[in-house]
Amino acid sequence: MRVGILALQGDVSEHLVAMRNAMGKMKIGGEVIEVKRKDELKDLDSLVIPGGESTAIGKLIAKYGIDSEIKNLAKKGIPIMGTCAGLVLVAKEGDEEVAKTGQPLLGLMDIKVKRNAFGRQRESFEADLEIGVLGKEPYHTVFIRAPAIDKTGKGVDVLARFEDKVVMARQRNLLAVAFHPELTSDSRLHEYFLGMGNEDSR
């Protein structure tokens, strides 16, 4: 298995470590690699778009000319996970803040995103959330200037909420996560993502 971490800006090395750890636990052979050029994106079995600064990552995606390559992967049914800034980028629709910055979105998932949804008082925080697809044990989450999902389209399943906000959702092969699963040692979320590649169809 060949898992790519989009390595333009942000939490790249943390995702590499977390993904290798999850693959080890699941006894999945293969490699986790940093990708940023077109040719590196071609033969992936799954892709992670990490947290960081969505405006910066968006600009670099345009600079490297890889938006169509990422869209092709999504169309082919390759699992793609966007975490935090990555969630902003996979969304079809943004809020006023996204409009203000003029940042291009990849528009892979039928969700509307609100950037920096938790406001100043809650710039960063941690919380234990119940996430059914990860099992009974609560999952410890780290939010850093996190976005939230404001609206979901028809084929989108909500997988987790924090208070009244949707913070994790899935649409077929696409997974959007508002927090940072790469910053804790609990590998369940990465394992869930890896498992998405083995499901027949949804």
Angle value at C-alpha 175, between 67 and 36, nearest 5 degrees:
35
84 tagged catalytic: yes
Sole binder of ligand GLN in the list 12, 18, 36, 52 (CB under 6 A) = 52
Which of 5, 61, 88, 177 is close enough to bind ligand GLN by CB under 6 A?
88
Of the candidate spans 25-33, 48-56, 65-73, 133-141, the one that interacts with ligand GLN by CB under 6 A turns out to be 48-56
CB 141 within 8 A of CB 162: yes
Q: Is 182 a catalytic residue?
A: yes
The single residue of 40, 182, 190, 191 carrying the catalytic annotation is: 182
- What is the torsional sign of CA 30, 156, 8, 182? negative
Q: Interface with ligand GLN includes 51 (CB under 6 A)?
A: yes
Q: Find all residues with CB under 8 Å of 172, minimum gap 6, and list them.
A: 77, 155, 202
Contact with ligand GLN (CB under 6 A): which of 59, 116, 165, 172?
116
CA distance 177 to 184: 14
Asked whether position 54 contacts ligand GLN by CB under 6 A, the answer is: yes
Taking CB under 6 A as the criterion, which residues in 140-159 touch ligand GLN? 144-145, 147
Annotation says 190 is catalytic: no
CB atoms within 10 A of CB 169: 23
Among the candidate windows 61-69, 83-91, 158-166, 194-202, which touches ligand GLN by CB under 6 A?
83-91
**DSSP H or E stretch at residue 58:** helix 54-64
Q: How far is the CB of 58 from ligand GLN (least distance, A)?
A: 9
For the record, the structure tokens of 116 come out as 């920096």
* Residue 168 is a binding residue for ligand GLN (CB under 6 A): no
Interface region with ligand GLN, contact rule CB under 6 A, candidates 18-26, 46-54, 59-67, 191-199: 46-54
Give the whole-angstrom CA distance, residue 198 versus residue 202.
11
Q: Which residue out of 15, 40, 69, 180 is catalytically annotated?
A: 180
Say which residues have a Cβ less than 8 Å from residue 114's Cβ, sequence separation at least 6: 95, 97, 147, 148, 149, 150
Does position 85 interact with ligand GLN (CB under 6 A)? The reply is: yes
Phi, psi (deg, nearest 5) at residue 47? -140, 140
Q: Using the rule CB under 6 A, is 93 a contact of ligand GLN?
A: no
Q: Write out the residues near ligand GLN by the rule CB under 6 A.
A: 51-54, 84-85, 88, 115-116, 144-145, 147
Catalytic sites, residue numbers: 84, 180, 182
